[in-house]
Structure 1
Amino acid sequence: MAGTAEFDEFVMARSRHLLRIAYLLTGDHALAEDLLQTALVKSWSAWKRIHGDPEPYVRQVLLNTYRSWWRRRWNGERPAESLPEQAMAAPQSAVDERDEVWRALGRLSRQQRVVLVLRYFEDLTEAEIAKALDISPGSVKSYAAKGLARLRLDPDLQALPRAVEDAPAGNERLAGVRRRIVAQRRGRLASAAAAVAVFLAGIVGYALGPRGEPEGLAGVPDYYQGYRVTERAQTTFAERSGELTLTPSSLDLAFFPACTHSGYDQQRLQISVWVGGYSLGAVDCATDGLSFEHRITPATETLRSAGVEVGKPITVQFNLDVRYAYTGSSVVIDPSPTPVPSDGVLALLVGEMVGFGEVELPDRPQTLPVLDRPAYASGTSVLITADGPRTATLDWRSGGVRIMARSQTPGVLRVRINGVLVDVKTWWDYEQQTWQSEFAPASDDAKARGLTAQYPDRLTITVEPDQLTGDWWLAVMPAG
């Protein structure tokens, strides 16, 4: 779903239902509307990648936003003895009943409340809730049972809350979402444009900015995803390409390309990375700011074929590609020059893999938060955990595989497919980030690594942990 018409239609048709979920979670009209619009703006950035019914995706974004807001935005608030009375246009008896409901729900834990809303309002199964919240089905049962037990014992609970009747109409909400999208793009692109101006003015070094700056080159620390960032470069769509020169001290290199623009996704714009005439890969441009979440890690053999040697200067190019145009629901190659947004930005980071002896790790917390595990275990997906076997097989048909992992503590997970190293996941703190990447077992890069996988085949997934002192999990599944 790539066009704006589908997005507008979805907001008009389904946002009121999603607002009720937001209201059940927050218990406040203003916060519910703010939460919903924020989730819709985030979903718009990935709208072209949503296939089929978009509501489960938007609901997932809403839930993730609610949980992150509770930790970051509302954590500083002190819980009151009771929730304030809601101002609602209803008979006094209805107000009293709803107030009693919010008092009872407000006394539940955040996770209990989310699980009950999804189970009894959205009518999701335990497996669906576990997948949405990235926890185990057993945890879902536990949260639901404890939450229901507390509600049954609550003397003030009389009835379930009614639907929100005083919410903005769909067209008013759509206008608000559009304003947020425009404001977000202007703000982020202004930051990116400022960074480009510094680059083009000849400033060398790219000193790190404040830790609170989330976007752009300055927002990436010196040590990122297990690599020491050695080079940073940035340019504009008007230039169409940029380059940087580096002298590698290792062939364990990673390339982090990113690009962003303010236009709607009518075109598929990409940033591609080239060394010595060899394409190392490409990633799609975003419309919500620079994000270096995609990592290209070429095999040593691939780099050597491109002329990369330790101690020898090399030039890395990164280009803007306008390769596809959307026509209705189909994608066609567009060989003619296509106008691109004038405010677009291209950027590239290059890093060398480092060891834990080179980085000062944070102090270990006295108590580690529990690491929730997803329910990935079927013929088309595998889950490998710290307390289980380190090898599993995956029924693989074609295309790429998605590799996801999370850890309680700093450390490394090395992932091998059929004995060939294909990915390395690294954590440097105790924040329990989930790292995600994709790998194509039948690609040229896979062949360069020595992996020869053809359908029908069963991929053998092996995980090698290093430096990890707590719980961890790694999941592999089809990328499609």
Structure 2
Amino acid sequence: MAGTAEFDEFVMARSRHLLRIAYLLTGDHALAEDLLQTALVKSWSAWRRIHGDPEPYVRQVLVNTYRSWWRRRWNGERPTDVLPEQAITAPQAAVDERDEVWRALGRLSRQQRVVLVLRYFEDLTEAEIAQALGISPGSVKSYAAKGLARLRVDPDLQALPLPGEDAPAGNERLVAVRERVAQQRRAKLASVAAACAVVLAGIAGYAVGPGRGPDQFSGVPDFHQGYRIVERESASFAAGQGGFTMTPSTLDLAFFPACTHSGYALPLIIHVWINGRSLGTAECDTRGLSFDARLQPAPDTLRDAEVEIGKPMTVTYSLDVGYVYGGSQSTSSPTPGPAPADGVLAVLVGEAVPFGEVSLPERPATLAPLSRPGAALPGSALITADGPHTASYDWQRGGVRIMAAAQTPGVLRILINGVPVDVKTWWDYEQAVWQSVFEPASDDAQRRGLSLSYPDQLTISVEAEHMTGDWFVAVMPAT
């Protein structure tokens, strides 16, 4: 396989250095080795897409993996049937001092520790750290300053510790990484086989319908539009509705409703509620369950619906018949008849994961040009990748529409007067256009820290993360 020799050489030559970073982050030899191997396996899946020196990419994957582990509080005990030998510390005073240094570094917050390790151990610039962590350079300065301030008050701070010399050699680590890669391949092959089985069943004339349990979701990957899918539920048109209870581990949730049927005179719609509060709708399709629609409520919207992390919430969905023009039911529309018997309602629920944890599609040899506005329209603001990332917007009344598109995978964070108000994310090269409406005078805006009144001059700014191509953000009146 192309790239195998280069990957093996990299693991042999540079994994020892990366292990030291992992140890500085985790403070534990076993966790550091596990973190490094996990990062190497993730990097292997994207090895062909890495151009130039692969170390910055692998380092970023390692840091992102560490951050995701700690967000999930993945630091508990791990069972083993063999007690490891305990390392004996020599009684020299210097070793004692380094132990105190490590303890002081370990008392820093996770983000402060990451920034200081990358800044003073890896010697990265503030801009490089900001890109690696997906934060602004100003945030890097803040974390570094606060971390150093805390370390300065420790009189025993002398030097950074290094991991012990009993870590696995490069060739032993390479064997372990290869085994993990093989396991990953076997899992992917099993997933592909399941998806092929669904396709073959459709070709043979066996419709995938409700009541089949998880089989109808066999073709749905574990990740969808950047979210880890944690719930897959469905119901038949005959039932008319469905529901389930789940316990979220984050308020960064996305709901992917879909419905399909053989054909109907009127539009059919799936409607989704959380704890009895309407979340939104999506139109049915006659070509199967696509899960293209995404309902992404803001954390404040979920809190208003009494959704809390670690607390069970109820998700319900139902079939609606609608034929709407101008916001009112059309009186000239055909009379609704019985819904198709083969109809299926379905909902996926996804929880956000760090960008670096999702395997991105292979980058095309040539990127299609991004179709973007050439200039800001009257009464609007346009921010582009090759221009200033800040613009003024003359806000007169009502909501503002935020429209964005990107040429490559990446994240755009939109801020108004320095307050984050929206996030747009792309996971492929399809150049999808995302748009949403934000109300600067709403209660949600006030909770975010915006206190505005008509008219006002707004400062729109965009923070781009992981973008490697062209993008734009346009802000305009919602009406």
Q: Label 1:105 to 1:352 Cα distance change in 2 as closer, same or farther (>3 A).
A: closer
Q: Structure 1, residues 7-31: CA drift from partner, whole Å, max 9, x if none? A: 1111011111100000100111100
Query: What is the CA distance between 1:362 and its match in structure 2?
Result: 3.1
Structure 2 match to 1:351? 291
- Which amino acid in structure 1 is aligned with residue 383 of structure 2? A
Q: 1:465 aligns with which of 429, 437, 441?
A: 437
Query: What is the CA distance between 1:135 and its match in structure 2?
Result: 1.2
TM-score of the superposed pair, with normalisation by structure 1: 0.52
Alignment of 1:310-389 (within 5 A): 350-351=290-291, 353=293, 362-364=302-304
SS in 1 for 2:383: strand
Determine if contact 2:102/2:160 at 8 Å carries over to the other structure: no
**CA distance in 2 between partners of 1:248 and 1:220 (Å):** 31
TM-score of the superposed pair, with normalisation by structure 2: 0.52
Determine if contact 1:413/1:465 at 8 Å carries over to the other structure: yes
Structure 1 match to 2:173? 173
Structure 2 match to 1:415? 403
**CA distance in 1 between partners of 2:265 and 2:120 (Å):** 56
- Which amino acid in structure 2 is aligned with residue 162 of structure 1? L
Structure 2 match to 1:67? 67
Q: Label 1:152 to 1:425 Cα distance change in 2 as closer, same or farther (>3 A).
A: closer
Task: Tell which deviates more after alignment, 12-21 or 155-164.
Answer: 155-164
Query: What is the CA distance between 1:3 and its match in structure 2?
Result: 1.4
Structure 2 match to 1:286? none
Determine if contact 1:115/1:129 at 8 Å carries over to the other structure: yes
Structure 2 match to 1:205? 209
Structure 1 match to 2:425? 435
Task: Point out where structure 1 has 5 or more consecutive residues left out of the alignment.
Answer: 78-84, 232-243, 253-309, 317-348, 369-373, 375-379, 381-388, 397-410, 418-422, 447-461
Alignment of 1:397-412 (within 5 A): none
Alignment of 1:245-324 (within 5 A): none
Task: Tell which deviates more after alignment, 18-27 or 100-109.
Answer: 100-109
Q: Label 1:94 to 1:133 Cα distance change in 2 as closer, same or farther (>3 A).
A: same
**Cα RMSD for the two superposed structures:** 5.2
1:230 aligned onto 2:234: no
Query: What is the CA distance between 1:137 and its match in structure 2?
Result: 1.4
**CA distance in 1 between partners of 2:171 and 2:266 (Å):** 57
Q: Structure 1, residues 381-435: CA drift from partner, whole Å, max 9, x if none? A: xxxxxxxx85224449xxxxxxxxxxxxxx9975257xxxxx9999xxx9x9862
**CA distance in 2 between partners of 1:145 and 1:86 (Å):** 36
SS in 2 for 1:51: coil
**CA distance in 1 between partners of 2:44 and 2:13 (Å):** 16
Query: What is the CA distance between 1:350 and its match in structure 2?
Result: 1.3
Task: Point out where structure 2 has 5 or more consecutive residues left out of the alignment.
Answer: 78-84, 235-252, 270-282, 310-354, 356-369, 371-379, 388-398, 414-419, 449-460, 471-479
Determine if contact 1:414/1:465 at 8 Å carries over to the other structure: yes
Q: 1:391 aligns with which of 382, 385, 388?
A: 382
Q: Label 1:215 to 1:89 Cα distance change in 2 as closer, same or farther (>3 A).
A: same
Determine if contact 1:111/1:143 at 8 Å carries over to the other structure: yes
SS in 1 for 2:426: strand
Which protein has the larger Cα radius of gyration, Structure 1 or Structure 2?
A: 2
- Which amino acid in structure 2 is aligned with residue 13 of structure 1? A
**CA distance in 2 between partners of 1:92 and 1:247 (Å):** 82
Q: Structure 1, residues 337-384: CA drift from partner, whole Å, max 9, x if none? A: xxxxxxxxxxxx513647789xx963358999xxxxx9xxxxx9xxxx
Q: What number of residue pairs does the alignment pair up?
A: 311
1:28 aligned onto 2:28: yes
Q: Structure 1, residues 63-103: CA drift from partner, whole Å, max 9, x if none? A: 000000111143668xxxxxxx9826756444423321221
Structure 2 match to 1:132? 132
- Which amino acid in structure 2 is aligned with residue 435 of structure 1? T
Alignment of 1:114-133 (within 5 A): 114-133=114-133
Structure 2 match to 1:109? 109
Q: Structure 1, residues 181-211: CA drift from partner, whole Å, max 9, x if none? A: 1112223433553465567564723667599
Determine if contact 1:39/1:61 at 8 Å carries over to the other structure: yes
Structure 1 match to 2:222? 215
Determine if contact 2:116/2:147 at 8 Å carries over to the other structure: yes
Query: What is the CA distance between 1:159 and its match in structure 2?
Result: 2.6
Structure 2 match to 1:452? none
Percent identity of paired positions between Structure 1 and Structure 2: 60
Alignment of 1:140-159 (within 5 A): 140-159=140-159
Q: Structure 1, residues 251-304: CA drift from partner, whole Å, max 9, x if none? A: 99xxxxxxxxxxxxxxxxxxxxxxxxxxxxxxxxxxxxxxxxxxxxxxxxxxxx
Query: What is the CA distance between 1:173 and its match in structure 2?
Result: 0.4
Structure 2 match to 1:10? 10
SS in 2 for 1:97: helix
Q: Label 1:61 to 1:350 Cα distance change in 2 as closer, same or farther (>3 A).
A: same
Structure 2 match to 1:479? 469
Determine if contact 1:28/1:86 at 8 Å carries over to the other structure: no
Q: Label 1:100 to 1:219 Cα distance change in 2 as closer, same or farther (>3 A).
A: closer
SS in 2 for 1:74: coil
Q: Label 1:220 to 1:413 Cα distance change in 2 as closer, same or farther (>3 A).
A: farther
